[in-house]
Structures are given as structure tokens and as C-alpha cells.
A and B are shown apart, each in its own frame.
Chain A
């Protein structure tokens, strides 16, 4: 079965510093890949997605992610974080051609230090 691993449960970053959140997936084929953000008490909002093509994808709020097939990874990055980026971040995958929803990682809680 496909699975998604986010190895970091919590990450603390100083405001203005760069950020990288890790995501690895386990599946034979390349799935569709997503990053979602969840602010406290809110639903999930899509940051970016990768289906095919250019392996570096740009998203909203200054985020980007790079797909590396050889490492089965889809890491999320931001060059300079803001206090408003404090939230829970979820990596998710969906099988191409399947309608059976998203498989999510357990999430990474991002804390921003002033």
C-alpha cells in the first residue's frame, strides 16, 4: 500500500530563516503529490501540487517543492519564513488514475521563533 512519511513531527525555525520540510512516499509508480497547510482550527489549504513535468513547482505564499524520483521525495521549501507560516503541514499523495482520495503523512508542526 502507498504510504507517506514526514519524518519531522515538529520543526522550529527563526523568523526570516529558510525552511525545508521533508516528505517521502512509498509506491512503485509516481503518484500525484501535494502539500497542504492547516492553520489552527481550520480546514486544509493547498500550497502546491506536482503531477508531471518540471520537478520544481511553485506554490502560494512563497513556497516551492522539488520532486526527486530517485529519492521518492517531495520536500517543501521556503527561503524566508514569516510568523504567519506557523501551522501544520501535510504532504499527501494520490495514485494517478484513482479516485480513492488522498493519502496523507502525519504532518509536521512548524513553530516560528521571533
Chain B
């Protein structure tokens, strides 16, 4: 069991470029989440999904898009990257809302210059 995997581990983007952060989980979890972590701050929820084909905005969705075509994958798309999107991005999954525990991937460190 690989758990939650994220690619790439690191990326540097120029302002205005776009990219997709990949997230895959092999635990057959219905719920998946994207968070960003800025220095000295906790994690903030960007988007989440309760199942294939269903996504919803979190606390800080502006500048991002997501899709959920399969149970396993939950990619995060950055269009027109901005310096404010420099952050560490974490993907997480959970079996159900009641189970509570979210399993986190190792993160993607993104720098926008």
C-alpha cells in the first residue's frame, strides 16, 4: 500500500505559467482534499471531493481548479501562477467523514518566481 502519493516533490514556476499537481491514493477512499501550508501557518483547505465527479471549494480556492474523474485521483490545477501561490501543497484522503482521520501525502513544494 503506497497510501497517498503526490508528484512532483518540487517545482519552480514562472509567473503566468500553469501546472497540475498530481495526487493518487490506493486506499479506495471516497473523500479527498487539497491543502496549502504557508510558513508559520497551519494548513488551509483549497478544495475537497466526496467522491468521483463531486468537488467543492474550501477556504482558499481562488486561482485553483480540481477535477475528480476517478476515486483514486484528485489533481489540482494552477492556472496563471502567481507568487502568492508559493507554498507547500498537501493532498489528503479519508474513508468517510465519520472516520475522521485524514491520510496525508508527502507534499509538493512549489515556488513561483
Binding site for B on A (CB under 8 A): 4, 9, 32, 34, 36, 42-46, 49, 51, 90, 92, 94, 97-107
Contact = CB atoms under 8 A, between A and B. Distances in A.
Interface of B: 4, 31, 33, 35, 40-45, 48, 50, 56, 58, 90, 92, 97, 100-102, 104-107
B43 A102 contact: yes
Contact of A46 (B41, B101, B105): B101
Interface centre among A46, A51, A99, A101 (most CB of B within 10 A): A101
Contacts of B43: 44, 90, 102, 104
A104 B42 contact: yes
14 contacts: A4-B42, A36-B104, A43-B90, A43-B106, A90-B43, A99-B50, A100-B45, A100-B58, A101-B33, A102-B45, A103-B45, A104-B44, A106-B41, A107-B42
B93 to A, nearest CB: 11
A32 B100 contact: yes
Contacts, number: 62
Question: Would you list the 7 A-B pairs with minimal beta carbon distance, nearest first?
Answer: A104-B42, A43-B104, A101-B45, A44-B104, A104-B43, A43-B106, A106-B42
A16 to B, nearest CB: 29
Contacts of B58: 100-101
B48 A101 contact: yes
A51 B77 CA distance: 34
A36 to B, nearest CB: 8
A42 B106 contact: yes
Nearest to A95: B97
Interface centre among B33, B42, B58 (most CB of A within 10 A): B42
Contacts of B33: 101-102
Contacts of A99: 31, 48, 50, 56, 97
Contacts of B90: 43-44
